Amino acid sequence: MRKVLMEFPRSLPRQVPLPNATSLRLPLGLTPTGLALGAIMVLAALLRFANLEAIGQANTYYTAAVASMLQSWPNFFFVAAEPGGSVSVDKPPLGLWLQTLSAFFLGVNGFAVVLPQLLAGLAAVLLLFHLVQRSFGPLAGLLAALALAVTPVAIAVERNNTPDALLILALLLAAWAFLKASESGKLRWLLLGTFAVGIGFNIKMLQAFLPLPAFYALYLFTAAQPWRKKLRNLLLATALLIPVALAWAVVVDLTPAHQRPYVGGSTNNSALDLIIGYNGIQRLIGGGPGTPGDPPQGDGPPMDGSNRPAPPAGQPDGGRPPLGPDGGSAGPGGPAGGGMFNLGAAGPLRLFQSGLAAQASWLLPVGLLMIVVLGAAGGWRNPQSARHRALILWGGWLLTCVVFFSVASFFHEYYLAMLGAPLAALVGIGLAYLWELRASHPQRAALLLLVAASLTLGFQIYAVGMYNTLGWWIALPLALTMLGTALLLFSLRRTGVWLPRVAFALVICGLLVVPTVWSGLTTAYADTGSPLPQAYNGNTNRPDGAPGPRPGGAGPARNDQQLVDYLQARTQDTKYLLVVPSSQVGARYVLATGRPVLYAGGFNGSDSVIDGDDLAALVAQGDVRYVLWDMSGRERNGDSSIRSYLQSACAVVSDAGLAVAQDGRGGTTLHRCGP
């Protein structure tokens, strides 16, 4: 193998055309490339748009926030998590702004809030095709587009209202601008690239910076300019990136606390704290109070008054009490701590373990091998070549993500969508290179293709077995690969051109069968409407045990409609319909009624949005009458003051069917407070 790598041709062809593409004559001006790309886009659309009824209201935490943002401009700008405007979601605004715009025209429903992500996913496939084919030809572009179209975790996040699909599109636009900057040396393209990264930051914060080292290295090492000028231009680009990225956060922090919602997920009501801590350092090292998977915390001291706005006596204009944060933890975006999520042990093989293998690793062996192959295919005497740019851009992006997700203390499975675009690009470029290498060095090309196929298909079969999904269908990729291998070896003794073409095509198709099937299973069965979307994991049952996808729904389930009717009839004179421990309990009531529901513990109960004194003040002011609370003493934020207040000052509602609503791990009891 070492000898094969050392004897590679010293240059990579700039473009690899489709075989005999120019000899085909099609009507209406169609081209083979256009037809192939159209077929890929149809496949991508089917995988993303089919079975959309299964997503229900999607991630109800974000969907309820969209319903809230439609009710007022302050709610819209500050991304309020509930219509009362007391607390924001734990993410920057741009993704939710686009979802709100969609819901403005289509109404608040699951389709409206996932539509921006669906369109972003399709646009990403087209954009990746363009980025690859402009330097490496249509064959490489088509293979890259197809690989991205059938990436299961990409389909999962695009069928959900988590904003990762929008972030990936922004980063691909940034990659396009950085490529233009490296080719032309012009500052304006560099500024456009950092501006696009800044836009991505306002979709998913620091996650947008994962490919930034590769972007900067691309310009620094391949632009044909003096080093001093390149360093100066990068400093200027960074000077633009920082204010673009932090613009919304700075406006939030400069707004007086009593005039805006509390910053969800922060520890001190600061958007910058949210960036650095909750969505920053904790993403790498884990920890933080109340992270999912931790045992319930015991009673703790009340939240310090300096970290929370004054009680409702100082209520701002517009009737929004200056209350605490709605953060999130697991679910839409909080720290995972450790034990709750099946992320596997940190280390170089983490992405190949059962918890993560199904997300984006199906083609990872061939992608990583192509980095080695392309890197060994010639010297580094021409750092401005397309090959070197591809290695730095796509290889740097992929390796940065692989290293991060291999060592990070917590993340959610769907974060691996960040691997999809660079991995697909490397697969397309690498396989197209092997096809071109076949013409001059058929034995080397055949050997490398067979090594890539053996490693990748072997891992795919192993991973399918981990999810107990082995069946008759696995014979298809095996048959394609084995037949292609036989034809490939046989073609080495022949001089014709069609036999090696068919052989290469069969092997490549064999590599793509498993991710394509897994993408279809993700569309059919994965709970992509949940707070934590992920690719199919081998489970064909809904959470309620019934086979097939989970049902949709516009609001509360079980006997909750009776509770909604009960509360609606008795709270027309109060601001809040209800106070609940978290958005996991309350978001469905927001969607059912459109009324404010106070999430006292943020997304999953780990935040200290209000304490017992704040609740007493809200009751005294007439803003709150009913509280639905878990009285078992499992407050995730360690503050038992609300439970103590309910026990001492409020009465349990004894109406039949309303006293206890089973929710999650235990029962929540409805209390009436005040007159």
**Do 655 and 521 share a domain, yes or no?**
no
Asked whether the predicted pLDDT for residue 322 surpasses 70, the reply is no
Q: Is residue 598, in this structure, part of any structural domain at all?
A: yes
What's the pLDDT band for 81 if we cut at 50, 70, 90? very high
**Do 459 and 575 share a domain, yes or no?**
no
**Do 501 and 594 share a domain, yes or no?**
no
pLDDT for the residue 506: 95
Top-confidence residue, 166 or 274? 166
Q: Is residue 565, in this structure, part of any structural domain at all?
A: yes
What's the pLDDT band for 608 if we cut at 50, 70, 90? confident
pLDDT for the residue 299: 32
What's the pLDDT band for 21 if we cut at 50, 70, 90? low
**Mean pLDDT along residues 33-50:** 96
- Model confidence pLDDT, tens digit, residues 232-270: 999 999 999 999 999 999 999 999 988 999 888 888 888
Asked whether the predicted pLDDT for residue 576 surpasses 70, the reply is yes
Residue among 590, 597, 601 at smallest CA distance from 623: 597
What is the residue whose two structure tokens read 């490919």? 211
Asked whether the predicted pLDDT for residue 572 surpasses 90, the reply is yes
- Model confidence pLDDT, tens digit, residues 358-369: 999 999 999 999
**Do 14 and 122 share a domain, yes or no?**
yes
- Model confidence pLDDT, tens digit, residues 182-238: 999 999 999 999 999 999 999 999 999 999 999 999 999 999 899 999 999 999 999
pLDDT for the residue 62: 96
**Do 521 and 627 share a domain, yes or no?**
no
Asked whether the predicted pLDDT for residue 306 surpasses 90, the reply is no
d(CA 538, CA 534): 11
**Mean pLDDT along residues 28-47:** 92
Mean pLDDT across the chain, nearest whole number?
84
Q: How many domains does the chain have?
A: 2
**Do 411 and 511 share a domain, yes or no?**
yes
Q: Is residue 139, in this structure, part of any structural domain at all?
A: yes
**Do 456 and 583 share a domain, yes or no?**
no
Q: Which long-range contacts (C-beta less than 8 Å, at least 24 apart) are formed by 233-240?
A: 233/187, 233/190, 234/190, 236/187, 236/190, 236/191, 237/187, 237/190, 237/191, 237/193, 237/194, 238/194, 240/191, 240/194, 240/195, 240/198
Q: Domain range for residue 661?
A: 560-673
- 0.75 cut: is pTM over it? yes
What is the residue whose two structure tokens read 């587009």? 145
Asked whether the predicted pLDDT for residue 528 surpasses 70, the reply is yes
**Do 346 and 410 share a domain, yes or no?**
yes
Q: Is residue 263, in this structure, part of any structural domain at all?
A: no
Residue ending a domain, among 525, 551, 574, is 525
Q: Is residue 274, in this structure, part of any structural domain at all?
A: no
**Contact yes or no for 645/626 (Cβ under 8 A):** no
**Do 490 and 398 share a domain, yes or no?**
yes
Residue ending a domain, among 475, 499, 525, is 525
Two structure tokens written together for 110: 């699951």
Asked whether the predicted pLDDT for residue 337 surpasses 50, the reply is no
**Do 515 and 425 share a domain, yes or no?**
yes
What's the pLDDT band for 137 if we cut at 50, 70, 90? very high
Q: Is residue 331, in this structure, part of any structural domain at all?
A: no
Residue ending a domain, among 505, 525, 545, is 525
pLDDT for the residue 273: 87
What's the pLDDT band for 287 if we cut at 50, 70, 90? low
**Do 572 and 489 share a domain, yes or no?**
no
What's the pLDDT band for 25 if we cut at 50, 70, 90? low
Q: Is residue 542, in this structure, part of any structural domain at all?
A: no
First to last CA, the chain: 82
Q: Is residue 541, in this structure, part of any structural domain at all?
A: no
**Do 521 and 659 share a domain, yes or no?**
no
Residue among 44, 45, 35 at smallest CA distance from 147: 44
